[in-house]
Amino acid sequence: MAGRAEVLSLLFVLLSAQNVAPQGITDEQQAWDFIWDYNAKAEKVYYDSVVAAWNYNTDLTQENSQKQVKAFLAEAQFGKEVAQNASRFDWQNFNNATLKRLFHSISSLGTAAQQDQAKLEELNNILSEMDNIYSTGKACEYDDPSNCLALNPDLYSCLASSRDYDRLRFCWEGWRDAVGRKLKDKYSRFVELTNDAVSQDAQNWADTGAYWRSWYDIADFQEQLENLYNQLKPLYNNLHAYVRKKLREQYGQDKISASGPIPAHVLGNMWSQSFINIYDLVEPYPNKTSLDVTPKMKADGWTVDRMFRTSDDFFKDMGQVEMPQNFWDNSMFVKPADRNVVCHASAWDFYNAHDVRIKMCTNINMIDLVTIHHEMGHIEYFLQYKHHPVPFRGGANPGFHEAVGDLLALSVSTPRHLQSIGLLDTVEDDNESDINFLMSMALDKVSFLPFGYLMDQWRWGVFNGSITPETYNQEWWKLRTRYQGIVPPVPRNHAKDFDPGCKFHIPANVPYIRYFVSFILQFQFHKALCDTSGHTGPLHKCDISAGPNKAAAGEKLARMLQMGSSQEWPEAMEVITGGQRVMSAQPLVLVDYFQPLITWLEQQTQGEILGWDESWTPPYDCEATEGFTCADGSKCIRPGDRCDGVNDCTDNSDERDCPNKEQEAWDFIWDYNAKAEKVYYDTVVAYWNFNTNLTQENAQKQVAASLAVAQFGKEVAQNASKFDWQNFNNATLKRLFHSISSLGTAAQQDQAKLEEGWTVDRMFRTSDDFFKDMGQIEMPQNFWNNSMFVKPADRNVVCHASAWDFYNAHDMCTNINMIDLVTIHHEMGHIEYFLQYKHHPVPFRGGANPGFHEAVGDLLALSVSTTRHLQSIGLLDTVEDDNESDINFLMSMALDKVSFLPFGYLMDQWRWAVFNGSVTPETYNQEWWKLRYFVSFILQFQFHKALCDISGHTGPLHKCDISAGPNKTAAGEKLARLLQMGSSQEWPEAMEVITGGQRVMSAQPLVDYFQPLITWLEQQNQGEIPGWDESWTPLYDCEATDGFTCADGSKCIRPGDRCDGVNDCADNSDEQYCTVDDCAGGFTCADGSKCIRPGDRCDGVNDCDDNSDEKNCPAASAQSVTVSMATTFISTVVCILLAILN
């Protein structure tokens, strides 16, 4: 397959037209300029998109997934803009056919036509999710769930080499249980989204299937395909009958019916699309030289690199382009050991005319050697058409790309070619050897025909709605039985199973009919090039690279490859075939290639039934195949249906006596925890980097990290929903699942003392000493190494003080002052909390409720702010212990704490109203002025009183320094107990621990704290009005406060409303004379910096920076002097009146 690069081209390399108004641009030279400008931009956009896709496919991480989605969205947006700009041209009436074809291509968008950005993003996210499910799926042994098998190489090997009927069934069924069921719901949503998207394209496609078929530009495409299939059906039926006979001999008549379909799991391939791996069971003449050269490759020490170099030599020998160095440098030839990747072999074009790659998890065997030649055929195509504009960089039709790869593999597979590269010692040139060779080719090629045909028959039915989500699996197996003559080895649960999704091209959304088309084309191309190369003899013996005129054949191939999609595909076919312009199966069946095998098969299948009874299903022993028989004996269900939370037995016995799901849930939690620590760490690092270096790059990385953690959370919540956790017995486990399932999205300053030798480091060390003195955890070394304590001089940062937990430092632009000293203790309180609860699973690493974290920081600051504590650290020489000093201290605390209370309360009152819709965008600001940390202010005083009591403090609460109490150790232990709980229990439990019994919030300790000040304030406020008139607003002088008075004098507007593109003045005067270019009637300053209104010229006020508006002014008239004096007098009177009133 041509890989992700070809899939991406679906967005743009299309065959539909955009309606353009008759008055569109007709200048063809201007159109060419547009095309080459588009091309330069497209190469960059496509390159970025393919790089993102490559990075994800070769390292399946959440971060790479989000980057891939982001790149796809950028590509889609680019395509929309291009199509919109292209619609300005009257290109349908251009004279130049190539130019018309280019515009035809870029004017259609496919799924990128989706106008709803949220839906487009959802579509791409689902594709990424399905890709990940498929690529990371594993089948786990029923008797040992810890032993899980990956598709490549484990399950591939199982299906290819095992001859144990039941073991084959496990490998076949295990893959479908692991992957298909997880994809079903996602795929049905994907279908809705892709159909909705293509319906918005220029051609208003009826569904995605209609859109895909349009690429072939054949009106009766489906009818032609059916005719081609019917031409090939007799050959397949004969092959099927022969293979079925041989399998019956291998497995017995009880498992393989003489007249029924073949069980799908015994054909050597996970999808039964190729029978080549059972060649040893069906070999016509076993005593002849084996054509499976895998043992020879291994014996001779072949390496993956040698396999690729051998393929490169083949192309060079044919006169084609040599693989460039970056191909060898950048490709992925083997499966990495350190990460998950998409192993499905694919070729990649990066659209910059030189970067091409193959991605493949290569094994040392013949099949992979042939596959390498196939994929390198795609690379050759990329390299040969790279000179074209981007829309022409593709196969003449989608089948051409695949046909080129397979065409060359036909030559590579011949015995003479295998001998030429040292993989066969001798070539036996006789009829029996020919039949063996043709059988091997038929097991690979002919067996594929019905599968290649039915894959998109099924999808087209899904896209047009004739196949619904309820019948996905049922209709899939109807088609597979009808066309392929195969059946599932065990009953399928159509309500749950989604077997189509277990084939890569379904979740990856790669159209498949191209492979059927390529099967026809490759033999047409092969015959044509064999004739050109000078080959004589049977077609199946032709190795194009060995013909006497191979150079001419290579030149003809290159001519076709170089065309790309710049002309309609019949033109390209005519170039390579020398005159043919339609697809035909004639060269394949009725003329040469398989004719000797057809004759032989007809002899071998005499007495056999050609075709199959579609109603037959294989018998199986329920319990012997790990199934479960319902207690009432009504039916047997498969292992995947046992204890899955869904009642499949009518008596519900399949969901009884289930293994301890709570142990499985704990395994899930700890697996999640390991992943969460990595994801959260990456996210916090991205936030830290942005907050400590405000660059655009860091901002983008922060957004990407946020999206990644959100996506991770969604997936975790989805997986958690598979557990019936609400009914777990273990309360902690329930709380963990509840957590991960709910996602959403100071005293009077003595500045002089502080400045006497205090440094930022000393301020933090003092805070650390405070916590150590309380028996808390000392700050670790990496806290000192990695925190940002002062504002860097070389970059912008977020200075807002904050504490950071990296789930595995502290951020603050500190100044030497009392406020920052207290803030340090507050933030270090957060750090203490982090350190104390770090042993918990990630969901429990937080405050008992959101207010607890802030309360802990402020609780400790209450002690630090006391005069006695400040004296103990050398910041007060003496402590005046009298009522006046107490009132001063409490006033300073009230100005910080009490003043905050209403603000802390109203902030989220406003937001909650915004979220519930009662405050609308139109009234955001209005409602804000009518009206988390509030909770922490209540809690901190409750905590403070409780710890003061424990510490042995006596006297007024506001004088308590917990760290100075005689029992401070006991207080520290109680604090530590609360911190260590994190959010592992409900917050009233945590409050009870620290307060010794209280389980509700209370403001009484806060009132007790400020009682002396309350009494004093009541005395001071006698005669004052408590509360306020909400209708009062302060007066202000418009122009004196830099406002702008409308020319008609109707109102004053604020400076930010002047020249902002919105008319605030009724006469629009606020939007006049705004720029130098719009200065008609105004005055342009001499330095050209701005335009000013005529009334500001020579008014005695310098409005121009160079004062030019006040130069060369006429003498002031008596009238103007009088007006100026009057204005000054009125302003003075107004100011005096305001002063008196206030």
242 is in an annotated binding site: no
Residues 6 or more apart whose CB falls under 8 angstroms from that of 395 comprise 2, 381, 401, 402, 404, 564, 565
* Alpha-carbon gap, residue 1098 to 883, rounded angstroms: 62
* Alpha-carbon gap, residue 398 to 463, rounded angstroms: 19
The catalytically annotated residue of 173, 283, 827, 854 is 827
Residues 6 or more apart whose CB falls under 8 angstroms from that of 969 comprise 775
Neighbours of 693 (CB within 10 A): 16
Active site residue 602: no
**Residues 535 and 528 sit within 8 Å (Cβ to Cβ):** no
**Residues 350 and 380 sit within 8 Å (Cβ to Cβ):** no
Q: What is the DSSP string of 1011-1055?
A: HHHHHHHHHHTTTSPSS--TT------TGGGT-EE-TTSS-EE-G
- Nearest residue to 423 via CA among 369, 501, 481: 369
Residues 6 or more apart whose CB falls under 8 angstroms from that of 92 comprise 17, 20, 100
Active site residue 827: yes
378 is in an annotated binding site: yes
* Alpha-carbon gap, residue 643 to 1082, rounded angstroms: 82
Specify which residues 629 forms β-bridges with. 636
**Residues 842 and 807 sit within 8 Å (Cβ to Cβ):** yes
* Alpha-carbon gap, residue 810 to 305, rounded angstroms: 50
In this structure, what are the phi and psi dihedrals at residue 900, rounded to the nearest 5 degrees? -80, -25
Q: What's the Rg (C-alpha) of the chain?
A: 39
**Residues 1071 and 1059 sit within 8 Å (Cβ to Cβ):** yes
* Alpha-carbon gap, residue 797 to 649, rounded angstroms: 62
Specify which residues 357 forms β-bridges with. 348
402 is in an annotated binding site: yes
Label residue 525 exposed, middle or buried (CB < 10 Å: 0-12, 13-18, 19+). Answer: buried
Per-residue DSSP letter, 323: P
Angle between helices 221-251 and 513-533 (to 10 degrees): 90
Tokens of 6: 């070809």
Active site residue 192: no
Q: Is the dihedral of CA 189, 191, 196, 197 positive or negative?
A: positive
Q: What is the DSSP string of 43-91?
A: HHHHHHHHHHHHHHHTS--HHHHHHHHHHHHHHHHHHHHHHHHHTTB-G
C-alpha of 653 from chain center: 40
- Nearest residue to 666 via CA among 598, 564, 595, 737: 737
**Residues 444 and 274 sit within 8 Å (Cβ to Cβ):** yes
Tokens of 85: 């700009």
The catalytically annotated residue of 417, 505, 540, 830 is 505
* Alpha-carbon gap, residue 453 to 213, rounded angstroms: 13
- Nearest residue to 35 via CA among 389, 392, 394: 389
Cα dihedral: 307, 309, 312, 314 (round 10): -70
The catalytically annotated residue of 75, 129, 375, 380 is 375
Residues 6 or more apart whose CB falls under 8 angstroms from that of 43 comprise 351, 352, 353, 390
Token pair 């795609």: residue:
378
Token pair 């319902």: residue:
630
Element (H, E) at 158: helix 156-161
514 is in an annotated binding site: yes
Which parts are annotated binding residues for Zn(2+)? 374, 378, 402
Annotated binding residues, as ranges?
216, 374, 378, 402, 514
Binding residues for chloride are: 216, 514
Catalytic machinery residues: 375, 505, 827
